[in-house]
Structure 1
């Protein structure tokens, strides 16, 4: 019999999900009868028991023990139970689509049962045996509630429209759930963006990120200040406790050093928000890219004249600065096999097709030829100052013209050398593609770019270092790949091809990136 004691504050490596057996006394006895352990069964994942004993929380390999007591599970007809809580945006469409796609691909029949407005479940039945294999139970509210359920041990997976906050991370670690900021504790399953919207009959079509922040801080109150009619601005935003509502404050308001105005009309559902804005000529709203509906999306424009519009491609590359990844978080404990298979499926190529059909931005890499990027080259020429020589622009065009840009890009957290959440997910995606041999006999070049702050020579050196750091991260993640079958190179052009204006923090952050070009 193998026992592992979870030391205080350490990650619980193995867990269980049989909630029906929770808080029930059991006795586990080794098959030779020499060791006996009594405690409260916290869960069973089909292979391992998790028991709360006088020695602390222990995990026990089920193959080496016999279980006795009212909480003992049925080993012959074990049904895996997975509790998923959090974002209603993800729970409404995306997660059901992924579960149904997973069931179809793996020979299960998926039956949905709705209990009330916030609770529903999927029962997955094996088509060959007719036996119930798993129950995926959902509670759809908001990201805050999802993390609260996780910390209360009432959820196994959190659907989140933002990254875990510092206080949630600390409490999860104290509860023995491991370091929730580690790469294997979260997975980006889809991409979205925060999009400013107006009614179709509103003449305003562009807004700068700073003006957007000032409007939502109450500093700009009339459309005439934004090039529109002389009329007051009516502000609309998602509910404060939703992940998108919190992402808006993090990415738009706090970044500008401002506070959200109290005069914002809040909405629990994004589609209700976009419908309201679309019918009000003087309304300004913020919604997810998937929920723009009949409203008119505004283009983000900087004072230097460069503009970025939310499209599936610009969100996937993070060229659009207000991206909003959709996360699945799980604690450091073992999930049932079918749950692990589902999470693996959610990050695979089949799930990307399902994600796209569900109306969200998938993570499947696309190859974009240089001919389709004329605006980027125009920016490079227009922005070239005395420090960017014509020969450097010619070198860039010479290198990139026979290649195609992957939509897989890498950017960094503000004021940090750490990759942001979407980019960390991109490392795993590209690593898996290398392991599968998708780029065998091809050449990939990691190309670094920078903002225009400081000397151009120093910026190019920093951009080259970032490109090398990303290349190393991808190689390290591609543990089973034969890297001798693919050429992985680095290069850098510093500030030679800006995506946005350097006059703002968001613009500089957008410009600091590593692109991947393939031939």
Structure 2
């Protein structure tokens, strides 16, 4: 009995000691001794400490304090550690290639260690000293699993093929991760799209968004309803947890208030889905543009007859109605320096070359001369609103003469004044180019367009206000640009150049845009 009670008391004593050690395992003291912070060390990124104190979580510059206690890191052997989790579409090929390219350019030797089917780790070692610099973990499953791992503090960055869902953002806020809807919490690394695919044997060339929605909701169930054979339509989508399946389900809701039919065949991989559709003349599926395999991609048609083909250009300009930007989401906490350096590299021209080689659409800015915009001009003449005069069309053509259209457009979130996610990314891309001097002494025009709903004069005024707002946002994002060498102006042509049918809601959204024209060199 005595021995038993002694053992219990000893265990309680050790538990109390360990609890105290964990609760206050570091003390940070300013170098002059005037300030002292005690608490539980949550992390150290090579520069800053994150400490949970009685005052809340504090971030403290490591250069200004001395750390004492059992939780203090070894500053001479610091290894940056961070983990990506999320979409297989991004994690299997794109991010590994970017990590390897970053390592090669930064003087690190790189080793990939496979853990299991969904986990692997990159070890980065300084080639000059042989010291380990970083351990970068990956868990490659689905977008939904990535956000779940972030909420569980099992990941630092989320790989996502869709915007964060409202319920995910709410849970993240409640968990102290920050507002994931804040533009500063996400970064677009590349562009992809939801491609509507069929077998190469299919005679179908395009569908309207309404038809796509009704097909996948099961309301159109036989090919004969689309002018094909009398046979049932076989529907193929990714698993429900995948980002593209969730993005498409959301698009169905937005388009027609519909949900995918129960008869949909679900796939665990994009390649498996594309192969299944390509081999079945009666099948139709939704796959990433980057992974269509041997299947054929359909165009999206408008009710007025205008057609939106899926290609690199229509993705860069946001003229295709089913985009799939590839995001990295970050929490509202400081990441290790090497992680921040990697994210900065991922948007660089060198990294975007890697993006293109990986089969995705990169973010690099291209220019389309007027001579290559014949279809746009033909559409302007054929589909311009009835209030658009010949004089206005001639004024627009004259303004376009000698210019190039940059392959970025700016659009606003539905029903709001905030730029959508791709457009916010475009602000940064264009601002970086301006700061680098790419448009010094070269006229740059922000051109507003509208849909055809309402009076043409009012639409033109609204289009101009949007163009001014985008111009101001870009210039604000380029504080180091040489203003004396910039020649920036604003123009608006309202409903004079529609890119899609105004009869369709998605067409009106595409038509409401700001383009950027640059004088040809």
TM range, smaller chain: over 0.9
Q: CA deviation at 1:124?
A: 1.1
Task: Give the aligned partner of residue 460 of structure 2.
Answer: 460
Task: Give the aligned partner of residue 370 of structure 1.
Answer: 370
Alpha-carbon contact 1:217-1:253 (below 8 Å) kept: no
Task: Give the aligned partner of residue 66 of structure 2.
Answer: 66
Alpha-carbon contact 2:27-2:38 (below 8 Å) kept: yes
Note the alpha carbon deviations across 1:345-396, whole angstroms, 9 max, x for none. Answer: 1112111111111100001110001111111111111113431111111111
Alpha-carbon contact 1:25-1:39 (below 8 Å) kept: yes
Q: CA deviation at 1:428?
A: 0.8
Alpha-carbon contact 2:384-2:498 (below 8 Å) kept: no
Alpha-carbon contact 1:413-1:419 (below 8 Å) kept: yes
Q: How does 1:3-14 map to 2 (within 5 A)?
A: none
Q: CA deviation at 1:429?
A: 0.7
Task: Give the aligned partner of residue 137 of structure 1.
Answer: 137
Q: CA deviation at 1:254?
A: 3.1
Unaligned runs of 5+ residues in structure 2 are: 1-20
- Greater displacement, 164-173 / 415-424: 164-173
Aligned length: 499
Q: Does 1:409 align with 2:409?
A: yes
Q: CA deviation at 1:183?
A: 2.3
Q: CA deviation at 1:60?
A: 2.6
Q: Which of structures 1 and 2 has the bigger CA Rg?
A: 2
Q: What SS is found at the alignment partner of 1:281?
A: coil
Aligned counterparts of 1:150 and 1:178: Cα–Cα separation in 2: 11
Q: What SS is found at the alignment partner of 2:77?
A: coil
Q: CA deviation at 1:303?
A: 2.0
Q: What SS is found at the alignment partner of 1:81?
A: strand
Aligned counterparts of 1:120 and 1:23: Cα–Cα separation in 2: 32
Task: Give the aligned partner of residue 261 of structure 1.
Answer: 261
- Greater displacement, 65-74 / 455-464: 65-74
Aligned counterparts of 2:109 and 2:317: Cα–Cα separation in 1: 36
Note the alpha carbon deviations across 1:68-96, whole angstroms, 9 max, x for none. Answer: 44432211011000111111110011111
Distance 1:507 1:346, change over 3 A: same
Task: Give the aligned partner of residue 316 of structure 1.
Answer: 316
Aligned counterparts of 2:430 and 2:297: Cα–Cα separation in 1: 31
- Greater displacement, 81-90 / 174-183: 174-183
Aligned counterparts of 1:457 and 1:226: Cα–Cα separation in 2: 40
Q: How does 1:402-481 map to 2 (within 5 A)?
A: 402-481=402-481
Aligned counterparts of 1:245 and 1:23: Cα–Cα separation in 2: 43
Task: Give the aligned partner of residue 333 of structure 2.
Answer: 333
Q: CA deviation at 1:35?
A: 5.1
Q: CA deviation at 1:234?
A: 0.5
Task: Give the aligned partner of residue 14 of structure 1.
Answer: none
Task: Give the aligned partner of residue 159 of structure 1.
Answer: 159
Q: CA deviation at 1:41?
A: 1.7
Task: Give the aligned partner of residue 11 of structure 1.
Answer: none
- Taking only aligned residues, the RMSD between alpha carbons, in angstroms, comes to 1.7
Distance 1:410 1:222, change over 3 A: same
Task: Give the aligned partner of residue 396 of structure 2.
Answer: 396
Task: Give the aligned partner of residue 107 of structure 1.
Answer: 107
Unaligned runs of 5+ residues in structure 1 are: 1-20
Task: Give the aligned partner of residue 47 of structure 2.
Answer: 47
Alpha-carbon contact 1:238-1:270 (below 8 Å) kept: yes
Task: Give the aligned partner of residue 227 of structure 1.
Answer: 227
Q: How does 1:89-238 map to 2 (within 5 A)?
A: 89-238=89-238
Task: Give the aligned partner of residue 10 of structure 1.
Answer: none
